[in-house]
Structure 1
Amino acid sequence: MSLRSLVAAFLVPMALLTACGGGATGQSFDDDALVVYSGRNQNLVGPLLEKLKTATGLDVQVRYGDSAELAAQIMEEGDRTRADLFFSQDAGALGALSKHGMLRPLPQDLLGKVDARFRAADGTWVGVSGRSRVIVYDPRTVSAPPKSVFELTDPKWKGKIGWAPTNASFQAFVTAMRLLDGEDKARRWLEAMKANGTQSYPNNVEILNAVDAGTLRLGLINHYYWYEKVAERGQNGVPSRLAYLPGGDPGALVNVAGVGVLKKAQHADAALKAATYLLGTDAQQYFATTTKEYPLIAGVAPERGLPKLDTLNGPKIDLGRLDSLEQTLKLLQDVGLV
């Protein structure tokens, strides 16, 4: 089953997938505008895309949505798409578009700004910010957090762990586990976690809040939610702490948000200009200081307190292979989690 068909079945109303241009949502775009399909939340990156308008002088118009849904829509729209630039929350959706021949190669001077781990092997997309999967834990009740996600099935954690099976970042992590450890081991882990009473939440924020409230002892989240909360409340106002997993554990996956220029973009030069801006110092500092993610270019440091990106022990995996979301969603459905 293709990404498009599975997303259609599980995530996207058929009206969205059969639309072209802006018709499905009532959103239309000016002919001379650079159109960005953004799988990143408007509250998170809206101010940055406004900065992009000012810095580049471009008329930028944005459609926001889930990354997988937007990738599916672009595939459905095909040559008719109005998307010039796809700004994805994760590498998997970019990999899916690349596999379907929807993205054009980016110039080497742009690709060269980012470590090879965080860009497509064929040069069709490039990461612009990074995030690490972590275990958030309550030090008031947990003196030694687990050192692997595979330890979370221990009965001592029964009913005390939170996860978000419908969240895109969690699904990317499960995809990585499938690729690294095999389908059978990933299935057994999911089934064991479910049998161990793991609590489902809609998103990372609610998991973090539950750990801080003492409702949970452990949770599976992305690192930056904790740092954002600390920035708002101070470290004394956030009881939880983070555990970065060692040894290439799938629970230490370092994923990226990234961009690709559509092969059929009406304004390809403008889209490339926008991609270049997102890998410039101004945008990279925005990711570091505002969203608390990892900047990916040399010379821009992450937020104070974050481990350096090159010290993280994430698994060695081609992020483009995270495009096999359809198998992950089928697995999660079979286990009864979505």
Structure 2
Amino acid sequence: MTGRRATTRARWAGLVTAVSALVLAGCGGAPAPQQPAAEPGPVTIYSGRSEELVGPLLAQLETALGTDVEVRYGSTGEMSAQLLEEGPNSPADVFFGQDAGALGALSSAGLLAPLPADVVAPLPERYRAADATWVATSARARVVAYNPGLVPEADLPSGVDDLLAPRWKGRLGYAPSNASWLSFVTGLRLVRGEDGARQWLTAFAAQQPQRFDGNGPILDAVAAGTVDAGLVNHYYLYEKTAEVDPATYSVRNHYVPNDPLGLVNVAGAGVVAASDNQQTAQRAVAFLLSPQAQQYLVDQTGEYPVVDGIAPTRAYELVSLGSLAPPDVDLADLASLEQTEAMLQQVGLL
């Protein structure tokens, strides 16, 4: 007997028992004794967030649920592809991803189940799916990380087009294979359309930006003066200044509102529609939005909380998430990464 059929029969048996009890009560018989609550079953999580980053948090989740939590780690792309391949036969109960685009793709494929209203209610509409199939668990902003000794405030960009000025030629860093860069370019496509994005990327390539393997090496190059500025996520600066004195580390974050340079993307989670353990899976997602989990994510990752009332306890300050004014992009639409990669190859930036 399959797990799903067993669950259906168990629910039917429970319904019959409840109806029988009501009939007996109506006839003057003694009510049937209440059965003890079932123990929560184990939960399997497909995590696109690294074990180093969220392993301790998911250990806390295991304690909170009072049941075993099995985690399968991989990149968000790998884990979402596995879930798409497995479809209704997947053993996963929860998907925990690094990128809203992956969550949107899984939702569009019908692989995520709607979450209860009380789980999604604390979040702004921007940070949850319109059909409640996923919620953000933390947020991160794109910034221009710059060396204040090399870049006067008057030269800081107010939008993507300012990066095409002559003063930036050969002086910018970017990470072509990094997921955050790909999401930024996808956001650019959504804001400006295919032709507008291709035009900007072609002009950006002519600026001869310097390539790096990741956002961390970009910050080191900015600090060393190898480049004047780089396109990164905001929290990389907090990772660096946890290791070195912020006063002597020559990098600052520049936020750019109302522009693709200021895209705010999210990590998030959803319950897998094929799960036989829906209630416990829902509790797992709800835990990721709890004050305990949100505090962990803010303190350990430097990302933004997505619920109110959480502030970092480490020695850094987050610009208010509500003040960032990111571009008007439906985060679920960031799923179109294949088109982004094709365009970047066409213009020579990948």
**TM-score for the superposition, normalised by structure 1:** 0.87
- In structure 2, the partner of 1:318 is 330
Q: What is the aligned counterpart of 1:148 among 159, 176, 181? A: 159
Q: Secondary structure at the match of 1:235?
A: coil
- In structure 2, the partner of 1:19 is none
- In structure 2, the partner of 1:126 is 135
- In structure 1, the partner of 2:343 is 331
Instruction: Tell me, in whole angstroms, the C-alpha distance in 1 between the residues paired with 2:91 and 2:214.
Output: 30
Q: What is the aligned counterpart of 2:270 among 254, 260, 273? A: 260
**TM-score for the superposition, normalised by structure 2:** 0.84
Instruction: Tell me, in whole angstroms, the C-alpha distance in 2 between the residues paired with 1:240 and 1:288.
Output: 21
Unaligned runs of 5+ in 2: 1-40
Instruction: Tell me, in whole angstroms, the C-alpha distance in 1 between the residues paired with 2:128 and 2:201.
Output: 29
Q: Secondary structure at the match of 1:236?
A: coil
Instruction: Tell me, in whole angstroms, the C-alpha distance in 2 between the residues paired with 1:116 and 1:252.
Output: 19
Q: Secondary structure at the match of 2:195?
A: helix
**Per-residue deviation, residues 266-307 of structure 1 (Å, max 9, x unmatched):** 322222111111000100001111111111112212564211
- Which structure is larger by alpha-carbon Rg, 1 or 2? 2
Structure 1 residue 45 corresponds to structure 2 residue 54: yes
Instruction: Tell me, in whole angstroms, the C-alpha distance in 1 between the residues paired with 2:72 and 2:51.
Output: 9
- In structure 2, the partner of 1:201 is 212
Aligned residues: 306
Instruction: Tell me, in whole angstroms, the C-alpha distance in 1 between the residues paired with 2:172 and 2:347.
Output: 17
Paired residues of 1:293 and 1:302 also in contact (CA < 8 A): no
Paired residues of 1:111 and 1:126 also in contact (CA < 8 A): yes
Structure 1 residue 80 corresponds to structure 2 residue 89: yes
What amino acid maps onto 2:329 in structure 1? Answer: I
- In structure 2, the partner of 1:17 is none
Instruction: Tell me, in whole angstroms, the C-alpha distance in 2 between the residues paired with 1:120 and 1:60.
Output: 25
Unaligned runs of 5+ in 1: 1-31
What amino acid maps onto 1:98 in structure 2? Answer: S
What amino acid maps onto 1:55 in structure 2? Answer: A
Shift of 1:326: 2.0
What amino acid maps onto 2:297 in structure 1? Answer: F
Instruction: Tell me, in whole angstroms, the C-alpha distance in 2 between the residues paired with 1:188 and 1:287.
Output: 37
Instruction: Tell me, in whole angstroms, the C-alpha distance in 2 between the residues paired with 1:159 and 1:243.
Output: 19
What amino acid maps onto 2:214 in structure 1? Answer: N
Answer with 156-165 or 229-238: which moved more. 229-238
User: Counterparts of 1:55-134 in structure 2 under 5 Å?
Assistant: 55-134=64-143
Instruction: Tell me, in whole angstroms, the C-alpha distance in 1 between the residues paired with 2:102 and 2:161.
Output: 26
- What is the percent sequence identity of the aligned residues? 50
Instruction: Tell me, in whole angstroms, the C-alpha distance in 1 between the residues paired with 2:135 and 2:111.
Output: 14
User: Counterparts of 1:131-280 in structure 2 under 5 Å?
Assistant: 131-144=140-153, 145-246=156-257, 248-280=258-290
